[in-house]
A and B are shown apart, each in its own frame.
Chain A
Amino acid sequence: MRSVAAVNDFVVRFANVNGTGSASANNMFAKAVFRMGLPFSAKNIFPSNIQGLPTWYEVRISEKGYLGRRDGIDLMVCINPQSLPQDVKSVSSGGYFVYDSTKILHPEFVREDITYIGIPMMEICLREYTDPRQRQLFKNMIYVGALSMLLDMDFEVFKGIIADEFKKKEKLIAPNIHAMELGRNYVAEHYEYPLPIRMETRDLVGDSILMDGNSACGLGAVYGGATVAAWYPITPSTSLVQAFEKYANRLRIDKETGKKKFAVVQAEDELAAIGVAIGANWNGARSFTATSGPGVSLMNEFLGLAYFAEIPVVLTDVQRSGPSTGMPTRTQQSDILLAAYASHGDTKHILLFPANPKECFEIQALSFDLADRLQTPILVMIDLDLGMNEHLSPPLKWDDSRKYDWGKVYDAEELEQMAQYGRYLDSDGDGITYRTIPGTHPTKGSFFTRGTSRDEYARYTEDGSVYVRNMNRLLKKWDTAKEIIPQPEFYQQGNQHKEGIIFFGTTTDSALEALDLLREDGIELDAMRLLSFPFSKQVEDFVQAHERIYVIEQNRDAQMRSLLINELEVNPDKLIRVLNFDGMPITAAYIQGEIKEKMVAEV
């Protein structure tokens, strides 16, 4: 048998039972990788359930800095008897299988091509602890200890993490270290260590941070000036508004009175959530909601109202696998078309696609400026992978000289000078008109907001020509938007090749890695990452400049490709689908394979 051997380049998967406290142990493992200066990516694979079902946590360590998921499990830590048969099968040939050997492994599960490392975790726990809860929790620390020994991880790093973790419960520091030692000692006494796969300390993460996208968006909303958040719980967006509330409770409390400079409403449903956000924005506060696909479906009518009545509003869609309830705890980028054209009639919306926590923070903050400036819904499109998993990210930064852009709003003085105020008068020729906030002036500047057709002075009308004029002005505003929203990112100087790839959001890490893999195969491609919709001139130029483009995305129906074809009137033959939609984050190897296959097929 040839065992896998690698330094700082392998995948570890933990198989746990939901609700047993394994998450914090696993996070501690990942944090230790991070503090050893090693780039890694971590994915939670969890069921839509609170307790008792299998859950997995996967960590890819990559000295080269690849942050996408990689298929193939080099080391499996199996703590869950329920998923054991499947876990044994999923280990790569030559890989390692760490399990609780308190009970003997059934011969049925013994493979010839992998190495078994049994640690009698339960037995050790029964011996050491009397309290069942402690047995459960410390069992997790025992396997982390064993792993640290097997993979040659720095124990001092773990001690530091434990000290940080229990800063407020110091009594727990020593017992946690002790539990780890139990695992370490068992390995030392019974196995050769380290394994041929192991870690070495490096200095490769610089000043990076570890953060999940939802927290970054929540913090971004605080920095962007949001004061009203309304939401209805749904995985995977729940933790976004919770993060907003957590940070706001820390950063937005009035020192003198202890009162809040923000309000969070847990609404009765998503219709109400977006209704609250629209009402607050209409009244001059920055407000947002966050949801996932099912919520966006419910919000459709209101999104149309905000589009047509021109009310700023920010909605973050943390996408999950649809249709319907689909796979609620698996990732996808499958709300693109729903979001782009949400609501009846001729509607279209601005979409933003951050790709890492730093961008989540910045784009969520920026979305409030854009909403106020463009007076329309701004949809921040992330997904479960970005939202709920911790990612290695450049640190967050805020330019203190930057000022909020509140958009075109008349104040009392300006209204006082004015002969007649027209809410929908396009006086600047950019399609964006001036609004007023209720309460500004006793007799001037009031207007009636409605979803029905109206003239430039906000007066109800069913005159077709007035309606058409207004609808065309909204198109003009759409064109204005194209150049002020975030522009695409390119990965080469100018266009160098006939073929290219397009990707966005969480596909980014794997797409960039795939470019490297393809280059090793002698295939060179230009690359463009989309950051927003509508598509700007730069996007159009890239599409024009290439003969064939692989559009890589995580849904079945090639939704971004459809959007490109529809909006840019591109010849569909030119845009080749590269699709992954099994609910797991897309991998570089998959993209590489698809592109090579499709190249051959077309030649």
Chain B
Amino acid sequence: MTYVKPSFRHPDLPKNDLGFTKKDYEGAISTLCGGCGHDSISGSITQACFEMSIAPHRLAKLSGIGCSSKTPTYFLGNSHGFNSVHGRMPSVATGANLANRDLIYMGVSGDGDTASIGMGQFVHAVRRNLNVVYIVMNNGCYGLTKGQDSATADVGSISKNGMNQFQAIDLPALALELGASFVARSFSGDKTQLIPLIKAAISHHGFALIDVISPCVTFNNNTGSTKAYDYVREHITTADVVDYVPPGEEITMDYPEGTSADLTLHDGSMLQLTKLAPNWDPRDKLAAMQRIYMSRAKQEILTGLLYIDPNTQDLHDLIGTVATPLNELLEEDLCPGNAVLEEINRGLR
């Protein structure tokens, strides 16, 4: 069942540029297990959208099936949402995006939803550079069907159901290989890192993957699991610290020379990066690949903005659709009328 939240609004709640409070970006009360990483991610999405002053109706939420895919009910209650079928969110998001290029699309998926049943669709959405924020709530297991290993479970990782023997799929590495234009990894417990990443992903024009390690407290948070809170906290290593500066705002932060890089995104916003690793440039795909492989060898979980190409063409640019959203075209734009048909008839005789 869905719990209805009291609509009481405190008069002093801070408002964003559109006059909305954070509550306007919340959804129904979560029915996930207490402590589930997914809920923290929902919180970060809410916070990011509130801070960015996104008009709720300008964003659409899409998901597949799983505990993770349920979360769109728990954030942005004033936005349209679509909980589709298992593993097929990318195609639904593709259709939605083609219909209206002006909305923001927030795709939410799980590691089962993306790396197993939905692998085909994920791969092809990346290839097409669909303009979507694609968040994988990655817990290394199938939460909703009670904890079976997923394809992102590390070799040797132990869940409540036993030890995984099969190779793990590294979604950011795969996305890089496929040509994704924005690839990030984060941890559900690290809001300071995750919120700016979500903002940057929203501002990015093209496919933006954020693989968020998100422990399943019920089935995969035990000793021996590489997706447990304790394990992740101990093994996390951060490639860079990202700060998101909205369009038109001045950069105020001061970083030591040589450790920061500013990136302008499609919508005029800025990303300010503090590079924690030497010779680190998230625009360098080769370096990103190398860092991912190196940290994997060291059993580190590398987080941060791993790769970005801020100047890519999305699906619409590639196929050359008009600027007007296709769903706003009028009958006179769409229907050529009978005179043209007569001409066509003539050609068929």
Residue numbers of A with Cβ under 8 A of B are 34-35, 207-211, 219, 222-225, 227-228, 230, 251-252, 254, 257-265, 267-269, 271-287, 301-302, 305, 395-400, 403-404, 436-443, 446-452, 459-462
Pick from B85, B98, B337: contact of A305, CB under 8 Å: B85
Q: Which residues of B contact A399 (CB under 8 A)?
A: 338
Measured CB to CB, the closest approach of chain A to B39, in angstroms, equals: 17
Rounded to whole angstroms, the CA-CA distance of A436 and B79 in the bound complex is 11
Q: Which residues of A contact B322 (CB under 8 A)?
A: 254, 257, 259-261
Does B95 lie within 8 Å of A396, measured CB to CB?
Answer: no
In this assembly, does B120 line the interface, its C-beta being within 8 Å of a C-beta of chain A?
Answer: yes
Does B73 lie within 8 Å of A280, measured CB to CB?
Answer: no
Q: Which residues of A contact B80 (CB under 8 A)?
A: 436, 438-439, 446-449
Does B98 lie within 8 Å of A225, measured CB to CB?
Answer: no
Measured CB to CB, the closest approach of chain A to B240, in angstroms, equals: 33
In this assembly, does B252 line the interface, its C-beta being within 8 Å of a C-beta of chain A?
Answer: no
A-B interface, 3 closest residue pairs, ranked by CB to CB distance from nearest: A279-B95, A275-B91, A285-B99
Does A302 lie within 8 Å of B88, measured CB to CB?
Answer: yes
In this assembly, does B192 line the interface, its C-beta being within 8 Å of a C-beta of chain A?
Answer: no
In this assembly, does B311 line the interface, its C-beta being within 8 Å of a C-beta of chain A?
Answer: no
Pick from A208, A275, A277: contact of B121, CB under 8 Å: A275
Does A228 lie within 8 Å of B88, measured CB to CB?
Answer: no
Residue among B56, B57, B345 with most chain A CB within 10 A: B57
- Would A283 and B95 be within 8 Å (CB), given that A223-B336, A251-B336, A439-B57 are in contact? yes
Pick from A208, A261, A282, A286: contact of B92, CB under 8 Å: A282
Measured CB to CB, the closest approach of chain A to B96, in angstroms, equals: 4
Does A403 lie within 8 Å of B331, measured CB to CB?
Answer: yes
Q: Which residues of B contact A448 (CB under 8 A)?
A: 72-73, 80-83
Q: Which residue of B lies closest to A357 (CB)?
A: B348
Q: Which residues of B contact A207 (CB under 8 A)?
A: 345, 349
In residues 74-107 of chain B, which contact A (Cβ within 8 Å)? 77-85, 88, 90-100, 102-103
**27 residue pairs bridging A and B, Cβ less than 8 Å apart:** A209-B349, A210-B349, A222-B334, A222-B336, A228-B95, A260-B319, A264-B319, A268-B120, A268-B123, A278-B84, A283-B60, A283-B103, A283-B327, A286-B334, A287-B98, A302-B88, A404-B331, A404-B335, A442-B55, A443-B24, A448-B80, A449-B80, A449-B81, A451-B83, A452-B83, A459-B2, A460-B73
Rounded to whole angstroms, the CA-CA distance of A573 and B123 in the bound complex is 53
Rounded to whole angstroms, the CA-CA distance of A441 and B58 in the bound complex is 9
Q: Which residues of B contact A219 (CB under 8 A)?
A: 344
Rounded to whole angstroms, the CA-CA distance of A74 and B100 in the bound complex is 57
Give the bracket for the number of chain B residues in contact with chain A: 35 or more
Does A397 lie within 8 Å of B100, measured CB to CB?
Answer: no
Does A440 lie within 8 Å of B57, measured CB to CB?
Answer: yes
Does B94 lie within 8 Å of A260, measured CB to CB?
Answer: no
Does A280 lie within 8 Å of B98, measured CB to CB?
Answer: yes
Pick from B55, B326, B348: contact of A262, CB under 8 Å: B326
Residue numbers of B with Cβ under 8 A of A are 1-2, 24, 55-58, 60, 62, 72-73, 77-85, 88, 90-100, 102-103, 120-121, 123-124, 128, 316, 319-323, 326-327, 329, 331, 333-338, 340-342, 344-345, 348-349
Does A400 lie within 8 Å of B338, measured CB to CB?
Answer: yes
Q: Which residues of A contact B90 (CB under 8 A)?
A: 272, 275
Residue among A230, A285, A459 with most chain B CB within 10 A: A285
Rounded to whole angstroms, the CA-CA distance of A223 and B337 in the bound complex is 8
| 18 further interface pairs, Cβ-Cβ under 8 Å (given A267-B124, A276-B94, A284-B99) | A225-B335, A230-B95, A259-B322, A262-B326, A263-B98, A275-B92, A275-B121, A279-B62, A279-B95, A282-B92, A285-B95, A301-B85, A396-B344, A443-B24, A443-B57, A446-B77, A448-B72, A460-B73
- Would A280 and B84 be within 8 Å (CB), given that A438-B57, A441-B57 are in contact? no
Q: Which residues of B contact A280 (CB under 8 A)?
A: 95-96, 98-99, 326-327
Q: Which residues of A contact B128 (CB under 8 A)?
A: 265
Q: Which residue of A lies closest to B77 (CB)?
A: A446
Rounded to whole angstroms, the CA-CA distance of A395 and B346 in the bound complex is 9
Q: Which residues of B contact A442 (CB under 8 A)?
A: 55-57, 78
Q: Which residues of A contact B316 (CB under 8 A)?
A: 263
